[in-house]
Amino acid sequence: METVMPRLLLLSNSRNYGGGYMEHAEGWIRSFFEGTKRAVFVPYAGVTVTWDAYEANVAERFRSFGIEVVSVHHAKHPVREVAAAEAVLVGGGNTFHLLKHLYDTGLVWAIRERVMGGAPYMGWSAGSNVACPTIKTTNDMPVVEPARFDAMRLVPFQINPHYTDAVIPNHGGETRAQRLAEFTKSNPSIYVVGLREGSAVQVSNGDTTLLGPHSARIFFNDDEPVERTPGASMEFLWSART
């Protein structure tokens, strides 16, 4: 059976250090959303920022791309809003908070259905997490409890946004790589993409590609992690089994 490939732009982050909002991703966004006039935004990952303020920030930025943005938190029927969406944006913040509200509003499967039906999807940070089979590779604290950890399964692999190899001096805790090794040991048939700041995974026209200036670190089973260079094909990730 042929695999249905959605159109996805999955960013590690929305702002690079010293840069403006979505500045590093501007070219990708313009190309990915070429011809798109209106997008539905999901602000539920916002916790310390109001959803109105979050919407205003995203709307202002996407206006520069010629795209009108409206947030689902205004909709009387969010599922209907998503079902009619030309494109879907899911913002970053706290992944647990995001997934809880996606379940509470019925949007987990509504977004999946719309995106698998052809609408382009862009997520950043937590918004990239929920495109995966689960949110088990998020970096976030579980400030609320979602119905389950299962997410939208738009891709069969996991993403760890904001991936870093940094080791804090004189700190004895586990590194990010050690934490992700715990996941792959417990879930040996699923790839994890350690997505560094300023990077993205794009799925478009049947191709899966690593974007950005940095390599991505790939974790799988008990294998030694490997690096994939920018521009590299990531088609192998679709062989993951959830």
Active-site residue set: 125, 140, 162
Residue 14 and residue 24 in contact, taking contact as beta carbons nearer than 8 Å:
no
The token duo for 175 is 């590194």
∠ CA 160-64-21, nearest 5°, is 35
Helical segments of the chain, H only = 26-32, 51-63, 78-83, 95-105, 107-116, 126-129, 176-186
- What number of other Cβ atoms are within 10 A of residue 164's Cβ? 14
Please state, in angstroms and rounded to a whole number, the distance separating the CA atoms of residues 222 and 224: 7
Residue with tokens 């539905």: 40
First to last CA, the chain: 17
